[in-house]
A and B are shown apart, each in its own frame.
Chain A
Amino acid sequence: MSRTIDRKKGPAFQALEGINFIPVREVALPNGIEVSLLEAGSQDVSKIDWVFPAGAVQAGKPLLASTVGNLLLEGTATRSSAEISDTIDFYGAYLNAQTFHHNTVVTLVCLTRELPHLLPLVEDVVRNAAFDAREVDIYLNKRRQEFLLESEKVRTLAARYFGSVIFGADHPYGKQLDLSHFDTLGREELIAFHRAAYTPLGCRIVVAGQPGNDILALLTRHFGGSDWQAGNINLNGVGEGLSSPEKFHLLEKDGALQSAIRIGRPMFNNTHPDYIPLQVLNTILGGYFGSRLMTTVREEKGLTYGIGSSIVSYPKGGMWVIASEVMGEMREDATAAIFEEMQRLIDEPVSEDELEVVRNYMLGELLRQFDGPFSSSDIYRTLWEYGLDYRFYDRMVEVVKTIGPPDLQALAARYLQPGDFYTVVAGK
């Protein structure tokens, strides 16, 4: 068979139309806890998130909220820590707690057929965690070791310090964990915070996968009862951030071969009208492998293994942050190159050709993010925190398809002024 193919020219391709979101079913348990179900997927597996208003903000100080979250699994009034982990492992499941600024999320991932064995255990740990003094000690000692290990990494040093530069050292988003917090955290505080925050008040449940027909009956039995008293969590307010008066901060670390760089500025969160268009600008700057920063700082100059930029959204604020670890002795060159790329977006319009790549890459990325019930439920859960829903992403698809070079240049002029950015360097 003879045939010739044109290897210089690629095959034809299609642009993406939009995203098929997994439908969400919303119900409430008898005690008022709201449940969202995203039922989809080819495997009989379930992922259930319990979201409690038990984050670092409500706790009011570092370490408290995450310690309470992690100690849920270390024993209840009737189950020892060892029994809890044995049950989870025996049923091939994963149970963990993750603490964020405004909440703690307890997540169970398991084969659906094991839910009847596992949900009684989740009920017990969430409601009856014992905070046994010995378990508290073991946990804090372990955690202290992890903290010391992380403190040896320039990347961690820069990231921690950056938060306090952008928001202020006393702001909930800027407050840093230090060793003294380990010495002053008491068991009574843990018990009090657990009692106040792990209750039906402010709790919600997100279910994803193929949880089966019995899921609502099971959730009602274990989490829907009126015997579970609402708590009295104080939804601590978050005041205005106060950025550092200094634009440049250097944390020297002896013997560092690389310097970790964080360059960024305070921003609004994803409810602001400019947030979505700025995602396109951010992608061009440093949001994908072909971005300007990757091209210049890695692929042209070879100063780093990786560099990226993102706009981080929190319920009460946000920040733009560019992060990289660069050759120690070339740190100034790398920093200068980053600011040059920001300036170039202000000075020159983006070409239609580059914009086409970014449009299609971003649409493909959305498709990847929404692939499957588990990742979709994570996105849905986060949207809910901001009072948003899937329409946010419909709008993103629309903006990505229609935004033009002049819009992007205007955004750059407004938000990428180098004088508005802060630099933190850890290393040399």
Chain B
Amino acid sequence: MIEIYKHQLANGLRVVVHPDLTTPLAAVNLLYDVGARDEDPSRTGFAHLFEHLMFGGSVNVPSYDDPLQRVGGDNNAWTSNDFTNYYVTLPAGNLETAFWLESDRMLELNFTPHALEVQRKVVIEEFKQRYLNQPYGDMPLLSRPLAYQVHPYRWPTIGQDLSHIKEATLEEVKRFFFTHYAPNNAVLAVAGNVVPDEVFRLAEKWFGDLPRREVPKRALPQEVAQTEARELTVRRKVPADLIHIDFHIGKRTDPDFYVNDLLSDVLSNGPSSRLFQTLVKDENLFSDINAFISGDMDPGLFTVTGRLMPGVPMDQAETAIWEQLQRIGNEGVAERELQKVKNKIESNLVFSEISFLNKAMNMAQYELMGDANEINKEIDYYRAVSTGELQEAARQIFSRTNSCTLHYLSGGEQ
């Protein structure tokens, strides 16, 4: 149970606080409601490039990192298709420094051509390091456009193409900032050794004067229902064949999110899960196999992906996956099996509440989805799921017409 205190500033900034007095530290987490889905299709990767620029100093503070490190703080950030998230941990006594730095960069960045030039290069190296110079690294660049034809989820957060990052201009950077970075488009979450009223006072002091900004209402093109199976085969210089199947499912805030999450756990959470026990251990078809859901704010994906053992024909491996998926639709799951994955969810929730930073991140995300207090109801939503719902979900999701299959074969030149 996470105790949560809330307050909203006149400019729209939502503030959520959780006191955890077992730590001498505090986490300040600022979540902006902007992600790769909000990008112009000819400027993909922009939200993430922007995350880098946020560390180049702001209008009144030339360096973000230096003053934070000077008070014992540390920070990082991540960008997803839906959100951009910035977080700081620091000794609780120095909390105000984080408010100073975060409020100034929400006010206005120090936009310089030099900062853009350097971060552009850094992001290009990140693109190479993660997506081009790793075995299987380009998979998201192949699987996303297969699953999404019109929705911006069709490109990964790093961007669709290096040229988009190379061509970004300072004017576009500024426009992106003033369109999406605003108190009324963000949630500030603080967890750790703090007093809620003091956090609210600091929020008023540092963020209270920031102007509310005009944030355009999101109107993204939505996919039309897929009516036939999609397939793509590529050949690359990798040590083993791989298969990646995406199925369309609903969005994070749909009630069946919890059903789908448990369904993916039955298939692949932990060494006793179905796919691991049957396809890795019993039949030795795969060296590794996983199933997971994306949990996106717009309709997302249920993914099954595995690397084949040498000598296993692709069609045999693919048939074996389908047998396992359809078995759930045909036969359902046992009560004990469902109880097992619910137990794991419950213990994972307890483990995640050990970290004050985790709690701050989760609170911010829940508040942006509607209400931070939903965190405490989550376990009940999971507990309420029945074996019948799992079977029905499997029937709905695992059909050929709903599938997008990437065959990623070894033996290529590059």
Contacts and interface: CB of A to CB of B under 8 A. Distances in A.
Contact of B24 (A20, A146, A305, A361): A20
A395 interface: no
A45 B60 contact: no
Most chain A Cβ neighbours within 10 Å, of B126, B133, B272: B133
A110 B347 contact: yes
A161 interface: no
A357 B69 contact: yes
A5 B273 contact: no
Contacts of B75: 289
A142 B128 contact: no
Nearest to B56: A299
A41 B407 CA distance: 47
A323 interface: no
Contacts of A300: 118
Nearest to B94: A13
Given A85-B270, A361-B70, A145 B351 contact: no
A103 B213 CA distance: 58
Interface stretch (B41-49, B227-235, B277-285): B277-285
B70 A13 contact: yes
Interface string B231-267: 0000001111000000000000000000000000000
Given A13-B97, A149-B240, A364-B73, A142 B347 contact: no
A45 B69 contact: no
Nearest to B20: A42
B239 A152 contact: yes
Contact of B60 (A8, A43, A145, A363): A8
A258 to B, nearest CB: 5
B71 interface: yes
Nearest to B354: A43
A305 B71 CA distance: 25
Contact of B89 (A7, A14, A368): A368
Most chain A Cβ neighbours within 10 Å, of B75, B90, B128: B128
B165 to A, nearest CB: 12
A255 interface: yes
Interface stretch (A88-96, A233-241, A335-343, A378-386): A88-96
Contacts of A304: 122, 125
B173 interface: no
B125 A11 contact: no
Given A92-B347, A289-B65, A303-B121, A363 B240 contact: no
Interface residues of A, number: 72
A93 B346 CA distance: 10
B271 A88 contact: yes
Contact of A298 (B122, B280, B343): B122
Contacts of A364: 69, 71-74, 90-91
B61 interface: yes
A357 B70 contact: yes
A86 interface: yes
B94 A92 contact: no
Interface string A128-148: 000000000010011001101
B89 to A, nearest CB: 6
Contacts of A40: 22
B69 A289 contact: yes
A234 B173 CA distance: 63
A7 B69 contact: no
Contacts of B237: 255
A258 B133 contact: yes
Contacts of A7: 59-61, 100, 103-104, 107
B360 to A, nearest CB: 14
A367 B24 contact: yes
A89 to B, nearest CB: 4
Contacts of B309: 141, 145
B126 to A, nearest CB: 4
Nearest to B118: A302
Contact of B347 (A111, A288, A368): A111
Contacts of A256: 133
Given A5-B205, A14-B94, A153 B135 contact: yes
A14 B95 CA distance: 10
Contacts of B206: 5
A283 B113 CA distance: 30
A390 B238 CA distance: 46
A183 to B, nearest CB: 15
A288 B68 CA distance: 12
A305 B122 contact: yes
Shortest 6 CB-CB contacts between residues of A and residues of B: A364-B72, A302-B121, A92-B347, A85-B271, A145-B287, A85-B272
Given A289-B69, A325-B125, 4 more contacts: A89-B270, A92-B347, A290-B66, A356-B70
